C-alpha cells in the first residue's frame, strides 16, 4: 500500500510544467503539470499544480492555487464564425481558410501579495490589485480593487482586508519592493499592518 502511494507521488511529480516565452524570477516556484505562456512572475510568487496562465504579468509574493485558469485566447464573437481556422496565425487545427487579423489575447495584470484560491478562473484583460484575495472556484470577469476580497460566479467584492487609510499607506510603503535584508530587519512587524505603518511612515 505504501509503495503504491509513493509510486503515485512519483508519477505526479514527473508531470513537468511547461513554459513558453516566460520570465520567472529565480525565487518563484511553479508546481507540476502547470502550463505558462507569455508570463512574467516576480520574486517569491508561486503557482499551484495544473494551473494554466496565458499572457500575464504577476507581481511578487503572490500565492496562486492549483487548477486555476488565468487569461487565455480570445475568439472574436462578432465574426461569422468563432473558429480559429478563419483567423490569422497558426492554430491547433493546422488549417487556415482565411487570415482575418485579430487580437489573440489580452494581458492579465496581477499585483503584489495577491492570494488566488484553488480553481479560480480569471478572464483575459483583467487587472487584480495589490493585496487582493480571490476565493476558491471564483470566476473573475471584472477588475479587482487592491486589498479587496472577492468570491463567487461572477466574483463580487464581499469586503476589504483593511480600511482605506491602511490600504493607502500599505500601497505607499510598497514593502514587496524592499530588499530581502530590509524585509528581514522588519519581519517582526508583518503580523500587524498598523505597527508596520507606524514604523515606516
- What tens digit of pLDDT does each residue of 185-195 get? 999 999 999 99
Q: Parallel, antiparallel, or unpaired for β 133-134 and 69-71?
A: unpaired
Looking at the fold, whether 55 and 121 belong to one and the same domain comes out as yes
Please give the model's pTM, rounded to 2 decimal places: 0.87
Read off the CATH number of the domain in which 107 is found: 2.160.10.10
pLDDT tier, 14 (very low <50, low <70, confident <90, very high otherwise): low
User: Is residue 16 over pLDDT 90?
Assistant: no
Grid coordinates belonging to 146: 487592491
- What's the structural domain count of the chain? 2
Determine the distance from the C-alpha atom of residue 185 to the mean position of all C-alpha atoms in its chain, rounded to a whole number.
Answer: 28
Nearest Cα residue to 167 out of 148, 183, 140:
148
Backbone φ and ψ for 27, nearest 5 degrees, come out as: -90, -10
Please tell me the predicted confidence (pLDDT) of residue 12: 59
What 8-state DSSP symbol labels residue 102? -
**Which of 131, 109, 113, 12 is closest to 62 using CA atoms?**
113
Burial class (CB in 10 A: 0-12, 13-18, 19+), 144: buried
Strand stretches in 14-160, DSSP E: 18-20, 23-24, 29-30, 35-41, 46-47, 52-58, 63-64, 69-71, 108-110, 115-116, 121-122, 127-128, 133-134, 139-140, 148-151, 156-160
Q: How many CB atoms lie within 10 A of CB 94?
A: 7
Q: Tell me: do 156 and 181 sit in the same domain.
A: no
Residue 1 has pLDDT above 90, yes or no: no
pLDDT level of residue 40 (50, 70, 90 thresholds): very high
Q: Is the dihedral of CA 190, 143, 168, 130 positive or negative?
A: positive
- 79 and 148 in a single domain? The answer is yes
Residue 172 sits in the same domain as residue 154: no
Looking at the structure, tell me whether residues 194 and 139 fall in a common domain.
no
Same domain, 43 and 115: yes
75 is catalytic: yes
- List 75, 79, 137, 142, catalytic entry: 75
In a domain, 5, yes or no: no
Domain that holds residue 196: 162-201
Amino acid at each position: 500500500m505504501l509503495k503504491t502511494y509513493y509510486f503515485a507521488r512519483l508519477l505526479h511529480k514527473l508531470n513537468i510544467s511547461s513554459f513558453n516565452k516566460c520570465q520567472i524570477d529565480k525565487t518563484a516556484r511553479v508546481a507540476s503539470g502547470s502550463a505558462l505562456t507569455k508570463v512574467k512572475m516576480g520574486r517569491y510568487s508561486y503557482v499551484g499544480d495544473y494551473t494554466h496562465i496565458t499572457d500575464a504579468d504577476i507581481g511578487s509574493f503572490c500565492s496562486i492555487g492549483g487548477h486555476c485558469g488565468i487569461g487565455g485566447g480570445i475568439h472574436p464573437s462578432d465574426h461569422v464564425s468563432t473558429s480559429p481556422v478563419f483567423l490569422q496565425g497558426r492554430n491547433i487545427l493546422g488549417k487556415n481558410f482565411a487570415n482575418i487579423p485579430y487580437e489573440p489575447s489580452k494581458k492579465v495584470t496581477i499585483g503584489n501579495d495577491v492570494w488566488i484560491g484553488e480553481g479560480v478562473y480569471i478572464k483575459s484583460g483583467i487587472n487584480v490589485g495589490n493585496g487582493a484575495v480571490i476565493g476558491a472556484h471564483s470566476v473573475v470577469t471584472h477588475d479587482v480593487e487592491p486589498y479587496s476580497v472577492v468570491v463567487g460566479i461572477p466574483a463580487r467584492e464581499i469586503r476589504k482586508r483593511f480600511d482605506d487609510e491602511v490600504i493607502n499607506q500599505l500601497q505607499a510603503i510598497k514593502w514587496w519592493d524592499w530588499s530581502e535584508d530590509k524585509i528581514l530587519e522588519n519581519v517582526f512587524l508583518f503580523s500587524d499592518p498598523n505597527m508596520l505603518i507606524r514604523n515606516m511612515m
